[in-house]
A and B are shown apart, each in its own frame.
Chain A
Amino acid sequence: MNINLTLIGQVIAFFGFVWFCMKFVWPPIIAAMQEREKKIADGLAAADRASHDLELAQEKALERLKEAKHEAAGIVDSANKRASQIVEEAKTAAITEAERVKTAARAEIEQETNRAREALRAQVAALTLAGAEKVLGATIDQDAHADLVNKLAAEL
């Protein structure tokens, strides 16, 4: 337990190791640790921001979805309206067409009837003439009695 040169040796060793530590050990380790700390902090901040962004995006998506739904409903609505309108239009068109066809048919019928009546009348006139000829026993002059016959036919 003597105090001797070991004391001096230890003082020198002490400063040597402290110097080494200060020069080569401490700065790189502490720098790496601080850098990592910063990295982690940045990472956490980024994660926070990302989750916030996600929330915003979700909100936006929801909004868009609602809008799209609304729009779709509108489109369907107007389509329905248009469809019923088209049906209505078709109905009225069909009715008018039917009317038109009916009128045309009726006119034709009338015409046919008239024509048949004319023919019938002519035939009746001829027949009457023939009958009268037979009755009178003489030939009626076709030309001379045409007026008479025609009058008769018109009265039929």
Chain B
Amino acid sequence: MAGENQTVSEYIVHHLTNLTYGKLPAGYERYDGSIVGDGGAWVMAHGGAEAAAMGFTAIHVDSMAWSIGLGILFSWLFYRVAKKASSGVPSGLTSAVEMIVQFVDNTVRDTFHGRNPLIAPLSLTIFVWIFLMNLMDLVPVDVVPELMMALGVEYHKIVPSTDPNITFGMAIGVLILILYYSIKVKGFGFARELAMNPFNHPLFIPVNLFMEIVGLLAKPFSLALRLFGNMYAGEMIFILIAALFSAGLAWMVPAGLLQIGWAIFHILVITLQAFIFMVLTIVYLSMAHEDH
């Protein structure tokens, strides 16, 4: 637990707060009583209230760093294998990477029947990247925040997929691809699909438009919220179990067992969530390619 004189709720809130860098509006009174001057100020947020006051002009440094870092890890790892890929006998890392590639390739083949060189690498990136981000959940909840505290960084959340910005960011990426391919493949047919479905009558165009657009937006929304919800809940349970350690020596053993049990179960959850995100992306893009 962080700090001896911290209450459990403070501990939980601390662990759920992102390291935020952003622009505070002019006239805002900071935690130490100072008033932000004209034109605002770009600062590290101290606590959730300041982060909230920053509004949209802020960035979660920890989420962004871990997300991009893990993305680079994925790219570097797979690029290393790709560079020396040969038709010879694979070994070690190569066979592991090829297993994942094979798995993704099969999934894409099963679901997506068009010809698009983007879908398979997109799926691979989504699957491995999200898996790595989720994997951060298995790092004991106190390790990195405590370490960062020791280094003078106040907040640190290492699981990017518990940050809705990250999950929505990826879902928006998928939405952009859905729109792009819908328009590219169907052209004007896409507009007709939005306007003339499900009621094929000019009078119903507004109703159709409303329903279809809601349906379209529901896709990335559900993608993002499903991943976020699962990972946030999982993280929350890890934190709650970790909070049990503060309840005295008698709780150490059961808390430890709970931690192990939940971690083992979570291995399934993180893989499954990464897989679901990937499969749904393939399905949505497959739908975008299909002309009705």
Interface residues, chain A, with chain B CB atoms under 8 Å away: 1-11, 13-18, 20-22, 24-33, 35-36, 38-39
The 8 closest A-B pairs by CB, nearest first: A10-B169, A6-B165, A32-B85, A26-B121, A35-B87, A14-B173, A22-B121, A36-B87
Q: Which residue of B lies closest to A17 (CB)?
A: B71
**Contacting pair A25 B169 (CB below 8 A):** no
Q: Is B247 an interface residue (CB 8 A)?
A: no
B291 to chain A, nearest CB (A): 24
Interface 1/0s, chain B 114-128, versus A by CB < 8 A? 000110111011100
| Most chain A beta-carbon contacts within 10 A, residue among B22, B98, B121 | B121
Pairwise interchain contact A18-B63, C-beta atoms closer than 8 A? no
B22 touches A32 (CB 8 A): no
Interface with A: B48-56, B251-259, B263-271, which one? B48-56
Are B120 and A26 in contact, with the CB atoms below 8 A? Answer: yes
Looking at the complex, which of B25-33, B74-82, B233-241 is the stretch in contact with chain A?
B74-82
Question: Which residue of chain A is the closest to B165 with respect to CB atoms?
Answer: A6
Q: Is the CB of B82 within 8 A of A10?
A: no
Complex contact B64–A6 (CB within 8 A): yes
Q: How far is the CA of A3 from the CA of B63 in the complex (A)?
A: 12
Interface pairs (23), CB distance under 8 Å: A2-B51, A2-B52, A3-B165, A4-B20, A5-B56, A5-B57, A5-B58, A6-B58, A8-B169, A10-B166, A11-B172, A11-B176, A18-B122, A18-B126, A20-B75, A22-B121, A25-B121, A26-B121, A28-B82, A29-B85, A29-B101, A35-B87, A36-B90
List chain A residues, Cβ under 8 A from B97. Answer: 29
**In contact, B75 and A25 (Cβ under 8 angstroms):** yes
- The distance from the CB of A148 to the nearest CB of chain B, in whole angstroms, is 134
Q: A31 near B64 (CB under 8 angstroms)?
A: no
